[in-house]
Structure 1
């Protein structure tokens, strides 16, 4: 029997990040670094999608060889209504950032932001003990919801939250339960007293955004302070906290760690988050 002269057809797995706009995303550099490091024949690309085209694009991507995608602003809430399977944590947070296109054609939606948040702290502040004292979260947007869910799961006895629009913080309390205590924005500084985990989950302090004006006088030395903002890496909020003797963790690691579960599902390799990856993403 003559061997077939036709080359074997082998699909190269594709993944990407869906958003509008998307050119600023660091995810292609992040996943591209891992694909190269592990010698994986695959590609990860930015996919700009206007909101009105989201459903159509999600149906098309699996037919084009995509095995999954990350989702960013403004689509993280909308994809929940379009997915066939939604994990409990994505439903609780009310947003998804990771999609898996299953072989049976179904879209599986998950949220790994909370995982990334905790993994970043564990990597850079290994002595962190969340269940001994209250945590304080500044902000009540989508990112804050993931942080709240992960901190409560980690065992914090009380979670204090404040937001410029109080009703959004009240909504988090109504959904996440009695451990959540809402503070007025004017009392944000008081909220930090006795809290040994403090998180800025707003975009304030980011390049091009207004500064975060919360008095930090009540911060105790040794408090774990982290900022979800990573441009700049050391925000004024983190700089002041460090000057007060706090243990500070920048926000870049959350981006890196939240990407790992998706990469593993799409490309079959559990990737490592290390200094080489940080350098690649920072460019």
Structure 2
């Protein structure tokens, strides 16, 4: 019987997840399908998750704007999903609907791949933004840095993020606007950040969660000054790996899915 899974969000046509999972499915020789779903309303999301609960779908990755709804609909959620206040993965486990967040795993995997010399011990990480993506970043970085600083236009949202995540992080979480002492600066905004890279420490690493374009203006400015930069595609692939294992029951095959994603983005591999 064909295993059916997919990714749900609105809009969703831009998602690279079907390409990534599809290449792994073919390489593993699975009888499986991974499809885009485009629920426009909360009710549509509930109907779709209902297909997971009744076994029509093995599970779903969930992206904006439905990650919080996915968490609410689950019977059980991982500590990470609860700390992040959202879930990007739901699946059926026996009679229970489970939820997890793999975004933080993806972020750390991307840093390990593209900035392997980065060490958070005794250092500061800066996260720009206070939305769902920022929350996952703060939670993950809060396990390995001494301090995580949140920069956001609305301080109340940053304070709310800190209140939610601090009990689940070993780092000290603070609001602020300084970047000069940061070992890592992560853009979790949907718009280009207002950061003067000339004021960064020479060894600072820059990361942007977006992958359209792959080399954002923020990353390009950093690269031009000799900084190590980490792109959002590495994070996307990193978060997809544990999702694939959960949905299809095996580790992703060791193939180069990044090359195919770059071709689809119109970037040179």
Q: Same fold (TM over 0.5)?
A: yes
Query: Could you tell me how far apart the structure 2 residues matched to 1:63 and 1:158 are?
Result: 43
Runs of 4+ in 1 over 6 A off after TM superposition: none
Q: What's the offset of the Cα at 1:127?
A: 1.1
Q: Secondary structure at the match of 1:248?
A: strand
Query: Could you tell me how far apart the structure 1 residues matched to 2:165 and 2:243 are?
Result: 26
Query: Could you tell me how far apart the structure 2 residues matched to 1:254 and 1:18 are?
Result: 18
Q: What's the offset of the Cα at 1:105?
A: 2.6
Is 1:255 paired with 2:244?
no
Tell me the equivalent position of 1:12.
2
In structure 2, do the counterparts of structure 1 residues 252 and 273 end up closer, same or farther at CA, with 3 Å as the change threshold? Answer: farther
Contact 2:27 2:253 in 1 (8 A): no
Tell me the equivalent position of 2:181.
194
Deviations 1:196-227 (Å, cap 9, x if unpaired)?
1111111113xxxxxx2222232122211111
Q: What's the offset of the Cα at 1:101?
A: 1.3
Query: Could you tell me how far apart the structure 2 residues matched to 1:179 and 1:194 are?
Result: 15
Query: Could you tell me how far apart the structure 1 residues matched to 2:259 and 2:78 are?
Result: 32
Contact 1:220 1:246 in 2 (8 A): no
Tell me the equivalent position of 1:145.
135
One of 104, 115, 119 as aligned partner of 1:129? 119
Deviations 1:61-115 (Å, cap 9, x if unpaired)?
444531111001111001111111111110110000011112x231100000000
Query: Which segment drifts farther, 66-75 or 264-273?
Result: 264-273
CA RMSD of aligned residues (A): 1.6
Deviations 1:6-65 (Å, cap 9, x if unpaired)?
xxxxx2111101112222211111110111111111110011213222222211244453
In structure 2, do the counterparts of structure 1 residues 246 and 273 end up closer, same or farther at CA, with 3 Å as the change threshold? Answer: farther
Is 1:84 paired with 2:65?
no
Write out aligned runs for 1:141-220 (5 A): 141-154=131-144, 156-177=145-166, 179-183=172-176, 188=177, 191-205=178-192, 212-220=193-201
Query: Could you tell me how far apart the structure 1 residues matched to 2:179 and 2:230 are?
Result: 17
Query: Could you tell me how far apart the structure 1 residues matched to 2:112 and 2:250 are?
Result: 21
Q: Secondary structure at the match of 2:182?
A: coil
Work out the number of aligned pairs and report it.
258
Q: Secondary structure at the match of 1:266?
A: helix
Compute the TM-score of the two structures, normalised by the length of structure 1.
0.86
Query: Could you tell me how far apart the structure 1 residues matched to 2:205 and 2:127 are?
Result: 12
Q: Secondary structure at the match of 2:207?
A: strand
* Structure with bigger gyration radius: 1
Tell me the equivalent position of 1:23.
13
Is 1:231 paired with 2:212?
yes
Contact 2:125 2:147 in 1 (8 A): yes
Q: Secondary structure at the match of 1:180?
A: strand
Tell me the equivalent position of 1:270.
251
